[in-house]
Amino acid sequence: MNESLPVAVIGAGRIGRQHAKWYHAAGCRVVGFLGSSEESVGRTQAALQEMLGVAIPGYTDFERLVSETRPVAVSVCSPHALHCQHVLQAVDAGVAVLCEKPLAWDEGKSHAEILLDARRMVAAAEKKQVLLALNAQYVAGLPAYMEWYAQMRGPLDRPRRYEAVMQSRGRGGGAEYEDIWIDLGSHPLSLIVKWSPSVHIEPGSIHCVLRRKEVVADFRCVAANGNLCECSIRLGNVPEGKLERRFGVNDFLLEYAGRNNPEGVFHTYLRHGDEEREYPDLLLMSIEAFVRAVRGEGEPLISGAEGLRNLELQIEILEHAVVEQGAAD
């Protein structure tokens, strides 16, 4: 059996704790985490102790974390504006990186500057030959989707229409307008990029509306072979009530939900019509793929280059968006 992989988590918030939980479940050793303050470190240490039953050291200094705990891989779960800094620090230290989506974003920078940051991240990883991957875990559901599609309709010839509806509580229930697109847009776009890595958007086809609690984006994608696909994405911030989450092509859609199974373990549930199937949590599958890639046993679900393409599409669509004030309250 392989020796357990030492990993660290950059970011002491909710998503960082989930990464730590699933690394632990995947057989890795979580050797440390980075927080923004002594107070956040203390809160996360207590939460991880309760969640995992082990004491994990916390740090507020990146270099000290890496030098003292010597992880071979890190998850970057810090605020978007710190992704570039933390990824570059990890790459410079020769540490493999799984970066949360989006690959880079800083509300204080222009879109051109954000893309420059992301390209620096990918270029640095390529130059140092360090693994850089993006976590946008819906891609982990693609094999299940393709299997289900084939069983119901036969092999997928080509996607002619893509639809995704994804709602979230998001940022404490407060995400509005473009924040919804920044927070969630990577998920549906990751499926498009995985289907066709060199995809581009047909000029003049983007129609995107930013509402207070909803974003709607319609556009046409062009694959490398010239095939067109009509794309429709609807994202929402829903502070209370049931969340709508579904995705698919050619009007064959799967509904997604996450909940604890009877044993108390969080799992993914996909549904079509009256049939529901159970799978491991998508984030766990993303982390397991990343761990295998770190070991040289495969590829991550989303490479750094694919994460960059995702971000390019996300920004291109946002630049064509119009704000509809007072709608979808």
Which residues contact residue 296 at a Cβ distance below 8 angstroms, ignoring those fewer than 6 apart? none
Which CATH number does the domain housing residue 298 bear?
A: 3.30.360.10
End position of a domain, from candidates 135, 163, 193? 135
End position of a domain, from candidates 81, 100, 135? 135
pLDDT in tens, 220-253: 999 989 999 999 999 999 988 899 999 999 999 9
Closest CA to 16 of 69, 91, 74, 67: 74
Cross-strand pairs, 164:
233, 247
Give the mean pLDDT of the chain.
95
Cα–Cα distance measured from residue 45 to residue 245, given in angstroms and rounded to the nearest whole number: 32
pLDDT in tens, 145-177: 999 999 999 999 999 999 999 999 865 556 899
Residues 145 and 264 in one domain: yes
Q: In the structure, how many helices (H) and strands (E) does the chain have?
A: 10, 16
What's residue 197's pLDDT?
Answer: 87
Residues 286 and 182 in one domain: yes
| Proportion of the chain above pLDDT 70, given as a percent | 97
Residues 143 and 130 in one domain: no
What's residue 57's pLDDT?
Answer: 97
Give the 3-state secondary structure of residue 281. coil
Residues 223 and 319 in one domain: yes
Q: Answer whether residue 1 is part of any domain.
A: no
Closest CA to 14 of 40, 52, 49: 40
Cα–Cα distance measured from residue 189 to residue 304, given in angstroms and rounded to the nearest whole number: 14
Q: Answer whether residue 329 is part of any domain.
A: no
Residues 210 and 100 in one domain: no
pLDDT in tens, 34-67: 999 999 999 999 999 999 999 999 999 999 999 9
pLDDT in tens, 271-308: 999 999 999 999 999 999 999 999 999 999 999 999 99
Q: Which of 91-100, 116-125, 239-248 has the lowest mean pLDDT?
A: 239-248
Model confidence at 328, in pLDDT bands (50, 70, 90)? very low
Residue 165, token pair as written in the block = 């509806």
Number of domains in the chain: 2
Residues 223 and 153 in one domain: yes
- For the cut 60, the answer to whether the pLDDT of residue 329 exceeds it is no
Residues 25 and 108 in one domain: yes
Q: Answer whether residue 239 is part of any domain.
A: yes
**DSSP per position, 76-111:** E-S-GGGHHHHHHHHHHTT-EEEEESSS---TTS-H
Residues 162 and 279 in one domain: yes
pTM of the model: 0.95
Distance, C-alpha 113 to centroid of its chain: 21
End position of a domain, from candidates 97, 117, 135? 135
Residues 205 and 268 in one domain: yes
Residues 127 and 209 in one domain: no
Residues 64 and 36 in one domain: yes
Cα–Cα distance measured from residue 185 to residue 193, given in angstroms and rounded to the nearest whole number: 12
Residue 39, token pair as written in the block = 């107070």
Residues 212 and 288 in one domain: yes
Domain hosting residue 225, numbered range: 137-323
